[in-house]
Amino acid sequence: MPPSRTTPTRPRSAVVTGAARGIGRATAVELVRLGYEVVVSDLDAVGAAATAAEIGAHSGMALDVRDPDANRQVAAVARDIAPLGAWVCNAGVAFDSDLVDLTDGQVRLSVDVNVLGVMWGMRAAADVFRDQAAIGVRGGEIGVVASLSAHAPVPNLSVYAATKAAVLSLTTSVASELRADGIRVHAVCPDGVATAMVDGFDVHGGTRAILAAGVMLTPEQVARELVAMFGTRRVYRTMPVWRGVVARAASLSPAASMHADPLLRRIGARRLRRAGLR
């Protein structure tokens, strides 16, 4: 077993960002189940504390992932609880509009949270993992919640998809950069997941239709898949696997994908109508 994994005699801490709710919360639950001393962190400090108490995590605290120093401070707090074993970059935002219809603020926030926030988190975690080698705790696990949209054109969600493609690229490169330190980096790329993020999309809009044409996962499924990669050499996984194959094929032929997209949206819109949602 890698020394970064938690055991009853050698407890390890773990930090999950954006964990007050949704996929982050489910990931925190999974890590608690495995015995990690979990720090639930979120922009929403009250929500983080409430979630931590509900799921039996060590603690909940404020963390705005856009702040590099704040990421380092939370990493230091976790390390004081027990040697850091895992850090999960989950916090994210999404706005369902075309590039030209988003506000400047929405575009900037998407990049700040979804891309820079992951970079700051990875750097904070990797620094602690490397320092810990001096006390005999070598390695660590970094998890990233990317998205299936990292693999394919996604009209009406173009900025979000671009941020997720960026973090998937980051994950694959950094996994190699940190390999010699025994630090493993893994990303999960799920299709739609039933969370407040999706609830916030316009029910009459194109993004809800394209999601309804695909597979709606639960936060727990995503959390299990991500954490199951810890301790393995697996760098990323798409969920479900077949949607990853279709998405990558679409990215190989964006022109063909442009023709298929309206059809998929019609299928999704019909499913939403049948479900009484539009």
Ligand X SMILES: NC(=O)c1ccc[n+]([C@@H]2O[C@H](COP(=O)([O-])OP(=O)(O)OC[C@H]3O[C@@H](n4cnc5c(N)ncnc54)[C@H](O)[C@@H]3O)[C@@H](O)[C@H]2O)c1
Binding site for ligand X (CB under 6 A): 17-18, 20-24, 42-44, 63-66, 90-94, 113, 117, 145, 147, 190, 192-193, 195-198
Q: Between 22-33 and 45-55, two packed helices, what is the crossing angle to 10 degrees?
A: 30
Q: Is the peptide bond before 83 cis (omega within 30 degrees of 0)?
A: no
Among 201, 203, 98, CA closest to 153: 98
* Cα–Cα distance measured from residue 41 to residue 87, given in angstroms and rounded to the nearest whole number: 11
Burial label, 274 (beta-carbon count in 10 A; 0-12, 13-18, 19+): exposed
- Active-site position among 58, 79, 164, 208: 164
Shortest distance, position 140 Cβ to ligand X, whole Å: 20
Min CB(257)–ligand X separation in Å: 19
- What is the closest distance, in whole angstroms, from the C-beta atom of residue 2 to ligand X in the complex? 25
Instruction: Indicate the residue among 70 and 133 with the shorter CB distance to ligand X.
Output: 70
In the bound state with ligand X, the residue whose beta carbon lies nearer, of 67 and 127, is 67
Q: Closest Cα partner for 6 from 23, 24, 30?
A: 30
241 has catalytic annotation: no
Nearer to ligand X, 137 or 229 (CB): 229
Report how far residue 271's alpha carbon sits from residue 10's, in angstroms, rounded to the nearest whole number.
Answer: 49
12 tagged catalytic: no
Q: Tokens in use for 55? A: 């799921």
Q: How far is the CB of 188 from ligand X (least distance, A)?
A: 8
State phi, psi for 87 to the nearest 5 degrees: -135, 125
CA–CA distances in Å: residue 202 to residues 111, 197, 210, 218, 257: 21, 11, 12, 20, 23
CA separation for the pair 44, 47 (Å, rounded):
5
3 state SS of 193: strand
Residue number with CB closer to ligand X (61 or 137): 61
Q: Which is nearer to ligand X, 43 or 133 (CB)?
A: 43
Residue 192 Cβ vs ligand X, minimum distance, rounded to whole Å:
4
CB of 45 to ligand X, least distance (A): 10
Residues 88 and 269: their CA atoms lie apart, in Å, by 34
Active-site annotation holder among 87, 160, 230, 236: 160
Closest to ligand X by CB, 43 vs 249, is: 43
Active centre residues (catalytic) = 160, 164
